[in-house]
Amino acid sequence: MRSPLGYLADAAPGTHALLPVCGNGSQSLNLVALRFYYCGITIDTLVSTLIAILVTLLIGWLVVRSLQHGTPGKLQMVLEFLLDYTRGLVRETVAEDAEFIIPIAATIGMYILIANWIDFFPLPAPLIHPANADLNQTLAMAIVVILVVQGYSIKVLGPLGYLRRFTKPFELPVPFRVLFVPLNIIEELVKPVTLALRLFGNMFAGLLMVYLIGLLISAAASGPLLVKPLSAVGIGLLILWKAFDVFFVGTIQAFIFMLLTIIYFGMAREGLEEEGHGHDPHPPAPVPATGHHVS
């Protein structure tokens, strides 16, 4: 439960309780019960995620419904700007022909942005909370992104070129490059972890700060008479902090997640031109013959 203000939580943010779906739902680490630990769902995260998805779809539907040529509406202008910006990042970072990355990156960025912004409103807790403050949510998105990146890398480089990518740096002799294979594999495995933890850590830290500020406000409200007015000041500061955390930090984190997604697709093409492997999908246009010699 939250206070009437809606921002002050009665309990510190922490792990999200699993609702058992099969077995006894035990979180014990013994081999018998371990399989039941993953046979459960987190209702609060699913509800929060569903709300963010529905709002994202609603905004997209409203834009499509109101599409117009000439002078677009404000919402259409904002989304067109974001889409054009994403398209430019993809073309500069990945390739001109990697158009399929644009909807992936743009949708991820828009969804995370909306999921973060929803947290500003005093929604009922604990059923609804910032979806990205749950590591299960951010890790699931990161794993999906990395799996698609691996598939794209295999498609572009081929199976042998994909395996060869783990021997970088390519400028070194082959015997030395073999030594870097374990490091490159670890780097690839760590990508979804760091991608998920970055978003989760910032969102969770925001919730924790709100909780700590709420403790100070509650302490002031229940303290001596001279201290009680500080609780009203604290509430105002809490709202300001919440706005900063949600609209500024939340926006930055959505952009970073989207940007790293695009960068990882670009990194998936590493080795395309090294040592004659692969081919350039955009070779330079041949210079037409004019029949004249330039001296």
Q: Omega into 122 within 30° of 0, i.e. cis? A: no
Asked whether residue 230 is domain-assigned, the answer is: yes
Asked whether residue 239 is domain-assigned, the answer is: yes
- Tens of pLDDT, residue by residue, the chain (295 residues): 344 445 555 566 666 667 766 655 455 545 444 444 456 777 888 888 899 999 999 988 888 887 767 677 777 788 888 889 999 999 999 988 888 999 999 999 999 999 988 877 766 666 677 788 888 889 999 999 999 999 999 999 999 999 999 988 888 888 888 889 999 999 999 999 999 999 999 988 888 888 888 777 777 777 666 566 667 777 778 888 888 888 899 999 999 999 999 999 999 998 777 644 444 444 444 444 444 444 3
- pTM comes to 0.78
Q: How many CB atoms lie within 10 A of CB 192?
A: 21
Asked whether residue 285 is domain-assigned, the answer is: no
Distance from chain centroid for Cα 201? 12
Q: Count how many domains the chain has.
A: 1
Q: Domain range holding 94?
A: 46-274
Asked whether residue 20 is domain-assigned, the answer is: no
Distances (CA, A) of 167 to 32, 187, 191, 266: 40, 12, 17, 17
| Coil, strand or helix at 6 | coil
The DSSP bridge pattern shows strands 40-41 and 19-20 to be antiparallel
Asked whether residue 205 is domain-assigned, the answer is: yes
Asked whether residue 108 is domain-assigned, the answer is: yes
Asked whether residue 13 is domain-assigned, the answer is: no
Residues 6+ apart with CB under 8 A from 74: none
Asked whether residue 4 is domain-assigned, the answer is: no
